Amino acid sequence: MTTESTSNPSKSEGVEPDPRRWKALGVLGLIQFMLVLDITVVNVALPRIQDDLGFSQSGLAWVVNGYILMAGGLLLLGGRLADILGRRRLFLLGVGLFAFASATCGAAVNPGMLVASRFLQGVGEALAAPASLGLIALLFPDPRERMKALGMWGGIAGLGGTLGTVISGALVDFASWRWIFFVNLPVAAFALAVVPRLVSESRMVRTSARPDFAGALTGTGGLIAVVDGLLQAATHPWGSAQVLLPLLGGVALLGLMVRIEAVSDSPLIPLEFFKNRTRVVTNFVTLFFSASFFSYFFLLTLFEQQILDYSPLKGGLSYLPFGITIGVGIGLGTALMPRVGVKPLLAAGFFSCAVGLFLTSGIGIHSAYASGVLPGMIILGLGSGLCFPAIGNASLHEVTGQDSSLASGVQSAMQQVGGALGLSCLVTLGLRHAASQIHEGVLPAVALTHGYSLAFRIGTVLLVIGGILVLFLLEHVSAEPRDPVAEVDDLDVIKV
């Protein structure tokens, strides 16, 4: 039996918080850990996947980018669908789809099957991730509790990205690359069984017939085409048809998406969403952070395996200090945010990451792990740990229950799109630089290392720019409770 309420309990005085909220946070965080894990978990396994399934070098990149692009391109649609159709319902649907795609990834017998399954995994994340964050925003109506919960959730997501390389290395060395996908199945099954018991259904008041599917599809297609063009630039001239056609086609599709959104009765992102400066600035600088963060993992993994001749397990274990320091940064950030606010922590996180990435850019073919890799890794891990909870809170600044999943979808989309653009742009620039040096007679190992260093230095500049934008444009975000009378009573909550 269901009962309906036309008021948001998070805004009503005298309503006790849901006693299941911390258990629910644990399960939702576990799923987010799994979703983010699958972005980086394939990096260490790529050489084995290429050998087993016969991937070409250019086709292999789609094992990573296929997942990222589908997730990033459809997250806005997923967030809006969660708000309209029900956050718990979309979360469960997304997790179920992700589990099915994980099974077909692990069972892949050719490149086409694996890439198609990775695209389907991305769709699953696009449905589950924004619904998950939207549920957390509603489970914790108290501002201080919400800040702590979002910090923990963001930290868990960050750890997922970090530990993906460690878990992948162990599974590849001791079992098979297929288990990096099969390991998702018991986690998904646990969430599907437990979440309905811990989380009540919630959705926004319906104000329009349906979300803007055309805008979502043209936007996703545009991103895929742009990234394909940038990746083609690594091996083809910028003026070639292989580069220009997907780039121009992608830009045309993105322009069409903007046009569709402008005239739509139910756009994916209502114009009112952009009136909050803190959310806009946070989502914009997230592009810089994610571009540097994802490129760091991808390029450092290649450097360790191709130049330093690390095994998959050794390469994965080399990231353990990153996991430890990012955990320390998450703890510091979560503890300090209610006291000092988001702005100083986020700026400190960006500048710390810039220092760490700059130190990493000093790598050479004879670099030792302790002196060449570890110092930058520790500082970058600490800075990233400060950034994750701060970004999570600032991206939901003054979000109402009506748009909680939309706001989380925007933030998740910026992470994914930033990662995809970072991989395509920074990796392309690094590889082109290496190719030009090889053409001049430089040894391939030296040239590749110089290319990686260049990409790290470009990432450093992006992080410095992001930190400056945070300092000058971000508003002060604290855990002070808002006036419930001033908020619009806009959420229709269904409790089971």
Q: Which of 337, 329, 308, 295 is nearest to 426 (CA)?
A: 295
**Above 60 in pLDDT, residue 11?**
no
8 Å CB contact between 133 and 215: no
pLDDT-derived band of residue 125, with 50, 70 and 90 as boundaries? confident
**Above 60 in pLDDT, residue 8?**
no
pLDDT-derived band of residue 96, with 50, 70 and 90 as boundaries? very high
Residues 256 and 275: their CA atoms lie apart, in Å, by 23
Which pLDDT belongs to residue 293?
87
pLDDT tens digits for range 223-276: 778 877 877 776 778 788 888 898 899 889 888 888 887 777 777 777 677 777
At residue 424's C-alpha, the angle toward residues 467 and 217, to 5°, is 95
Residues 188 and 191: their CA atoms lie apart, in Å, by 5
Neighbours of 460 (CB within 10 A): 20
> What would the mean pLDDT of 191-220 be, rounded to a whole number?
72
Report percent pLDDT > 70 for the chain: 84
Cβ neighbours of residue 168 closer than 8 Å, sequence gap 6 or more = 40, 41, 42, 43, 44, 45, 177, 180, 312, 316
DSSP 8-state symbol, 264: -
**Above 50 in pLDDT, residue 404?**
yes
* Lookup: tokens for 496: 């089971």
- Residue count (the chain): 496
Which pLDDT belongs to residue 104?
96
Which pLDDT belongs to residue 496?
33
The alpha carbon of residue 151 and the mean position of all alpha carbons in its chain are separated, in whole angstroms, by 15
pLDDT-derived band of residue 202, with 50, 70 and 90 as boundaries? low
Residues 274 and 281: their CA atoms lie apart, in Å, by 10
pLDDT-derived band of residue 288, with 50, 70 and 90 as boundaries? very high
Q: Which of 30, 286, 243, 245 is nearest to 136 (CA)?
A: 30
Q: What does pLDDT average to over the chain?
A: 79
> What would the mean pLDDT of 459-471 be, rounded to a whole number?
94
More confident residue, 14 or 128: 128
Residue 76's φ and ψ, nearest 5 degrees, are -65, -45
Which pLDDT belongs to residue 3?
34
SS3 for 164-185, per residue?
HHHHHHHHHHHCCCCHHHHCHH
Lowest average pLDDT, out of 25-39, 41-55, 158-172, 476-490, goes to 476-490
Q: Which of 287, 250, 310 is nearest to 419 (CA)?
A: 287
8 Å CB contact between 227 and 122: no
Q: Is 264 exposed, middle or buried (0-12, 13-18, 19+ CB in 10 A)?
A: middle
Cβ neighbours of residue 472 closer than 8 Å, sequence gap 6 or more = none
**Above 90 in pLDDT, residue 481?**
no
Which pLDDT belongs to residue 218?
85
pLDDT tens digits for range 127-159: 887 777 777 777 777 777 777 777 677 667 666
Which pLDDT belongs to residue 402?
55
Residues 79 and 409: their CA atoms lie apart, in Å, by 5
Which pLDDT belongs to residue 265?
74
310-344 burial, b if ≥16 CB within 10 A, otherwise e? bebbbbbebbebbbebbbebbbbbbebbbeebbbb
Q: Which of 136, 158, 134 is nearest to 27 (CA)?
A: 136
Which pLDDT belongs to residue 209?
52
> What would the mean pLDDT of 198-220 be, rounded to a whole number?
68
Cβ neighbours of residue 231 closer than 8 Å, sequence gap 6 or more = 58, 61, 65, 424, 427, 428
**Above 80 in pLDDT, residue 397?**
no
* Lookup: tokens for 438: 């090889």
Which pLDDT belongs to residue 14?
45
